[in-house]
Amino acid sequence: MKSYYNQCSIAVIIVTIINGCTPDSVPLKGKYIDNPIELTSTKTSDSLWLKIRQIFTEKGLVIKKVDAEKGLIVTTKTSFNSAYTHEDKDGKLVEPQAWVVLQKDFTKRKEWNPKTIYSEWKIQINETEGGVTIIKIDPLVICTYYPNMFTSMEVRGQSTGKLENLIDSTLLSNSKK
């Protein structure tokens, strides 16, 4: 019987900890890149590949995978702990140059600070028969919080569009969205 009460006590403690760590989230107000975006250009896929690889190198994004047959470039999971931001009360970025935006999460009015933020960028480049090259950019942003020693929680962040705009302005001066 003691064992049953001990198990019930442990279950109550675990449920209390989990429920006590369920955050109140402030949803993002701004418009961010939620789905892959597509850009088009009249430049060749080869020249775009070279430019994108150059941008990745300059910005510290390491390429994990290149599949020329599929026209795919994927970066490694890159830490964005120093390059993220939140929104202010009006939905504007606190740090306008950040590449990643996260919603604010609170428990009992205490704001959680993210412990790890990583992003992986997938870029697919395909040349069409009409001489138009399509560039699809698909970011994945994951943030992990550890509010206590028992709980971790992952949330999805959003790209602010800075990398996408950099690619657009650097590579595609003749592009269309």
pLDDT, one tens digit for every residue, the chain (177 residues): 556 555 555 544 554 444 455 667 778 888 877 678 888 888 888 888 888 888 888 888 888 988 888 889 898 888 877 778 888 888 999 999 888 888 887 777 777 777 888 888 899 998 888 888 889 998 888 888 776 666 677 778 888 888 888 888 876 554 444
Predicted TM-score (pTM) of the model is: 0.71
pLDDT at residue number 92: 92
**Residues recorded for the chain:** 177
Cα angle 86, 92, 95; round to 5: 50
Measure the CA–CA gap between 94 and 89, rounded to whole angstroms.
Answer: 10
Measure the CA–CA gap between 105 and 10, rounded to whole angstroms.
Answer: 27
CB under 8 Å to 27, separation ≥6 — which residues?
103
- Name the 3-class secondary structure at 144: strand
pLDDT at residue number 93: 92
3-state secondary structure 152-164: EEEEECEECCHHH
- Identify the CATH assignment for 25-171 out of 1.20.120.640, 3.40.50.920, 3.40.640.10, 3.30.530.50: 3.30.530.50
Measure the CA–CA gap between 114 and 102, rounded to whole angstroms.
Answer: 9
- What is the domain partition of the chain in residue ranges? 25-171
Residue carrying the six token digits 């698909």: 138
Of all helices (H) and strands (E), which one includes residue 136? strand 133-148
- Name the 3-class secondary structure at 130: coil
Measure the CA–CA gap between 142 and 107, rounded to whole angstroms.
Answer: 20
What token pair was written down for 90?
């009006």
Measure the CA–CA gap between 106 and 122, rounded to whole angstroms.
Answer: 31
